[in-house]
Amino acid sequence: MAINVRAKYLNKTEEMSFIDRLYLPAIVKGMFITMKHFLFTKAYTVEYPEERKPIAPRFRGRHVMKRDEMGRERCTACYCCQYSCPAECINIEAAEVTGDIRNNHPEDKYARVFEIELLRCIFCGFCQEACPKAAIYLEEFYELADYDDRSKYLLTKKEMMETEGKPVKYRV
Amino acid sequence: MAKITIDDKVIEYSGNPNLIELAKENGIDIPHFCYHPALTISGNCRMCLVEVGTLCKNQQTGEYEKDDKGNIKVNFMPKPQPGCYQQVSDGMVIRTNSERIIEARKGVLEFTLANHPLDCPVCDQAGECVLQDYSFQYGFSRSQFIEKKRTYKKNEISPVLTQEMNRCIHCDRCARFTTEIAGESSFARTWRGNKMELSVLPGGTITHNYQGNMADICPVGALTITDFRFKSRVWFLNYGVTLCTSCGKGCSVMTSHKKGKVFRLKPVYNEKVNTYWMCDHGRLRYRFLNESRKSGHSAGGKKANFQSALSLAAEILKASKNIGVIASAKESLETCMVLSRFFREVAPTAHVDYRVDDAQVRDDRSLRPGELLRAKDPYPNSFGAREAGLLPGQGGATAIDILGAPEKFDAVVLFIDDHIIEAGDRLGNMSKAKNLIVLSPFESSLDSTAAVSFATRAYSETSGTYINIDGIRQKYCPVLPPLGDARDSWDILNQLSGLMGKSFGLDSIGKIRSHFKLGD
pLDDT per residue over B81-92, tens digit each? 999 999 899 989
- Residues A34-62 pLDDT 10s: 999 989 988 888 998 898 888 998 999 99
The answer to whether residue B229 neighbours chain A at the CB level (below 8 Å) is: yes
Please report, for the domain that includes residue A139, its CATH number.
3.30.70.3270
Within this chain, do residues A76 and A157 fall inside the same structural domain, yes or no?
A: yes
For B233, the closest of A79, A95, A108 (CB atoms) is: A79
Q: Are the Cβ atoms of B230 and A109 closer than 8 angstroms? A: yes
Within this chain, do residues A34 and A73 fall inside the same structural domain, yes or no?
A: no
Within this chain, do residues A13 and A98 fall inside the same structural domain, yes or no?
A: no
What pLDDT does residue B57 have? 86
Instruction: Spell out the long-range contacts of B108-112 with Cβ–Cβ below 8 A and sequence spacing 24 or more.
Output: B108/B45, B108/B46, B108/B47, B108/B49, B109/B47, B109/B134, B109/B135, B109/B138, B109/B139, B110/B139, B110/B140, B110/B143, B110/B144, B110/B145, B112/B33, B112/B45, B112/B47, B112/B169
What pLDDT does residue A2 have? 61
Domain extent for A129:
63-162
Q: Are the Cβ atoms of A83 and B121 closer than 8 angstroms? A: no
* pLDDT of A8 higher than 80: no
CA angle A122, A127, A129 (to 5 degrees): 115
* Residue A57 included in any domain: no
Collect all residues of chain B within an 8 Å Cβ-Cβ radius of residue A132.
Answer: 120-121
For B122, the closest of A83, A95, A109 (CB atoms) is: A109
The answer to whether residue B119 neighbours chain A at the CB level (below 8 Å) is: yes
* Residue A171 included in any domain: no
Within this chain, do residues A67 and A29 fall inside the same structural domain, yes or no?
A: no
Q: Which residue has the higher pLDDT, A15 or A27?
A: A27
* Residue A7 included in any domain: yes
Three-state SS for B302? strand
* pLDDT of A171 higher than 60: no
Nearest CA in chain A to B231: A94
Within this chain, do residues A150 and A91 fall inside the same structural domain, yes or no?
A: yes
For A76, the closest of B122, B235, B236 (CB atoms) is: B122
* Number of domain units in chain A: 2
For A96, the closest of B119, B229, B233 (CB atoms) is: B229
Within this chain, do residues A103 and A137 fall inside the same structural domain, yes or no?
A: yes
Which pTM does this prediction carry?
A: 0.86
What pLDDT does residue B269 have? 96
* Residue A167 included in any domain: no
pLDDT band for position B422 (50/70/90)?
Answer: confident
CA distance A156 to chain B (A): 20
Within this chain, do residues A73 and A28 fall inside the same structural domain, yes or no?
A: no
Within this chain, do residues A36 and A67 fall inside the same structural domain, yes or no?
A: no
Element (H, E) at B509: helix B509-515
pLDDT band for position B270 (50/70/90)?
Answer: very high
Q: Are the Cβ atoms of A96 and B230 closer than 8 angstroms? A: yes
* Residue A170 included in any domain: no
CA distance B165 to chain A (A): 14
Within this chain, do residues A104 and A24 fall inside the same structural domain, yes or no?
A: no
* Residue A142 included in any domain: yes
* Residue A54 included in any domain: no
Size of interface A-B (CB pairs under 8 A): 30
Within this chain, do residues A36 and A76 fall inside the same structural domain, yes or no?
A: no
In chain B, the percentage of residues whose pLDDT exceeds 90 is 77
Within this chain, do residues A27 and A76 fall inside the same structural domain, yes or no?
A: no
* Residue A46 included in any domain: no
Within this chain, do residues A79 and A145 fall inside the same structural domain, yes or no?
A: yes
Report yes or no: A131 and A81 within 8 Å, Cβ to Cβ: yes
The answer to whether residue B122 neighbours chain A at the CB level (below 8 Å) is: yes
